[in-house]
A and B are shown apart, each in its own frame.
Chain A
Amino acid sequence: MAEYAVELRNVWKRFPGPGGEVVTAVKNVSLQIYDGEFFALLGPSGCGKTTSLRMIAGFELPSEGEIFIHGRPMGKTPPYQRPVNTVFQSYALFPHMTIGENVAFGLQMKGVDKKEITRRVAEALEMVRLSGYEKRKPKQLSGGQQQRVALARALVNRPEVLLLDEPLGALDLKLRKEMQLELKRLQREVGITFIFVTHDQEEALTMSDRIAVMEGGVALQVGTANDIYEHPNCRFVADFIGETNFLDGKVAEVDTDKARIELPGGVSLWAHTPQRVVVGQAVTVTVRPEKMHIRPNATDINQVTGYVTDIVYIGTDTHYGVVLIGGQTIRVREQNYAADSRLLAREGEEVCVRFSIEAARVLTE
């Protein structure tokens, strides 16, 4: 028994570009996706998410590398012989068929007998809460309903893996939130591996068991939402997921898993070093705004001084913009958890910003 539902091994994809040059959409990507997992491919527009998904589905063949589904190498297997189904970005519902016919299509192609088809179509539509819509045409449904039909049409075939390419992209915010929960519920119910493409980091964080962050055709980091947020392995990932501060400086002193970094203006701070660094190396330190405090706090070792430039009060939190002595700006987020929270500083006031060693991470790339 193969341990992975889907595995990409050193997969490359190159396209001929418009001017005869080569566009490399996917560069040496290796991924292992576990059975029953909700896996997200996350990245900005044009980073190669769709291309990766299409290679798993079989619409594109890798230029190099191999894709395995439950341990079976896919090679040049055409899409209609792969045990996966796709929910398309624009849904791709057949406009000339009714909802019922759309959902039944895959089963008919597999030669499932009529009675069974009727039963399973009804079941699938019930699962996406669209019972009674069998006779309608796709045009007569709302965007969200069409989206659910696309889902039913794929799930009714009981694929080993379901591929979803930004399936919620066309929906408005409220519906999107609803469908996120709905999808998550469905995935738990059917227990099928979902591979989900999105460029919305919040969506990826809410829904997935694990996330692969892609950029420029490369899979930068793979891990759980918590992993990626708390332990980003590069500047791009730290920046793309959530909000963060970057402080550029030089390594001044190295300890086992931490180092003292000197910032311009003579300020220095201690930060956690996941990778080995050497004295004198130029590095970036990342600190999440919510892990920094203006409030006095006895345990934090790092203390930097600066002036408050702006204050944004948003109810749950207050955001302070602070310019440090060396000229770098940071943002600090203070939670207003007290019963009667007041501002902790005024604009122009000198403040001392504190944070722990663990909150500061040294990034080498």
Chain B
Amino acid sequence: MIQHIRENRRLQGFLLILPAMFVMVMLLVIPLTLTVITSFGQRDADGNVIYTFTLENYWRLMGFTEQGWDDLYLRILLRSLWLAVQTTVIVILMAYPLAYFIARSPEKRRNFLLFLVLVPLWTNFVIRIYAWVMILRSQGVLNSTLGAIAGLLNVPFQPLDLYPSQTAVLIGMVYEFLPFMILPIYTSLEKIEPSLYEAAADLYANAFRTFWRVTVPLSMPGIVAGTILTFIPVIGTFVVSDILGGRQVILVGNLVQRQFLDARNPPFGAAASIILLVMTLVLTLYYTRRFGLGEEIAAG
């Protein structure tokens, strides 16, 4: 037996992958299949699932209800998408300069600067968002700081009404996912051979053109990886909007969560969750086809 395994490399590989595949089947394939099955079901009066085959849940999500056309859920979908796009763009714009700064720092200092990016991640996701509540609420840190400055300058000050709001949700999302963009971009920037910059300079490109023609294209894998690491969680989360958006900002994540836990309508929640999954997969596939695979996901 042992001898047999020793000689057969195919068998060795198979045995090595087996545990991982077992876990994936049990906790990914079967659960997702069950979700799909549930999404075709109905619920009874007590919130239990009746397994049938109906497309009703999907129709309802598309806006067809017994009472006529209602684009409530479509708007939720679009809002989530739009928020994810906004977050990703802002995160890229903030992460790139910092990643570039770190990559161009003296080698000895780089690890420390990267470490500084990671430290906030070590506090807790939920606590970090709560910290933003403390900052943004009407009597919070931001308004009192601004008020104090206004007082010093003798200008009238109207406290900002940021919490709860869609802007607060956006700020929270940007904050949560910024490090996940900085790391992969840094990794891809750091990999660029210094001689390529010199070659560009040698071929008459100034700093600006070198940046656009060499640095940005070569750091594209990092941007792609960072985008995947940002976009997908943003579109699926319900915590940030729950805490920073009050009850005003409802995203797909909130919809799914509420259907399962508050409204007790698992089939509808399952359908929403499947739509969310399909949407993400299609977008990711399109995006990676268009811009190449994000090999740097590993860095996150």
Interface residues of A (CB under 8 A from B): 57-59, 78-81, 84-86, 88-90, 92-96, 105-106, 109-110, 153-154, 157
A170 CB to nearest chain B CB (Å): 13
The answer to whether B196 and A92 touch across the interface, beta carbons within 8 angstroms, is: yes
- If over half of A's interface residues share one DSSP class (helix, strand or loop), that class is named, otherwise mixed; here it is mixed
Closest to B199 in A: A92
B214-226 interface mask toward A, CB cutoff 8 Å, 1 = contact, 0 = none?
1001101000000
B1 contacts the other chain (CB 8 A):
no
Query: Can you identify 16 A-B contacts, CB atoms within 8 angstroms?
Result: A57-B198, A58-B201, A79-B198, A79-B201, A80-B202, A84-B202, A85-B202, A86-B199, A88-B195, A90-B195, A94-B214, A96-B220, A105-B200, A106-B203, A109-B205, A153-B199
- Please give me the residue from chain A that is nearest to B216 by CB atom: A96
- A88 and B198 contacting across the interface, CB-CB below 8 Å: yes
- Chain B contact residues: helix, strand, loop or mixed: helix
Chain B, Cβ-Cβ closest to A78 = B201
Q: How far is the CB of A124 from chain B (nearest CB, A)?
A: 13
* A106 cross-chain contacts in B, Cβ below 8 A: 202-204
C-alpha spacing A95/B204, complex, angstroms: 18
Contacts of B200 in A (CB 8 A): 80, 94, 105
B111 at the interface (CB under 8 A from A): no
Q: Once the chains are docked, how many angstroms separate the CA of A206 from the CA of B241?
A: 73
Query: Which A residue's beta carbon lies closest to that of B192?
Result: A95
Contacts of B198 in A (CB 8 A): 57, 59, 79, 86, 88, 92
B44 contacts partner chain A, Cβ-Cβ < 8 Å: no
B204 touches A57 (CB 8 A): no
Nearest B residue to A57 by beta-carbon distance?
B202
B195: A residues at CB distance < 8 A: 88-90, 92
List B residues 217-241 near A (Cβ within 8 Å).
Answer: 217-218, 220
The distance in angstroms between the C-alpha atoms of A92 and B203, with both chains bound, is: 12
Establish whether residues A105 and B213, one from each chain, have CB atoms under 8 Å apart when the complex forms.
yes
Starting from the known contacts A59-B201, A90-B195, 6 additional A-B residue pairs (CB-CB under 8 Å) come to A80-B206, A84-B202, A86-B198, A92-B199, A109-B203, A110-B204
CB distance from A86 to the nearest CB of B (A): 5
**B209 interface contact, C-beta 8 A:** yes
Q: Does B262 contact A (CB under 8 A)?
A: no
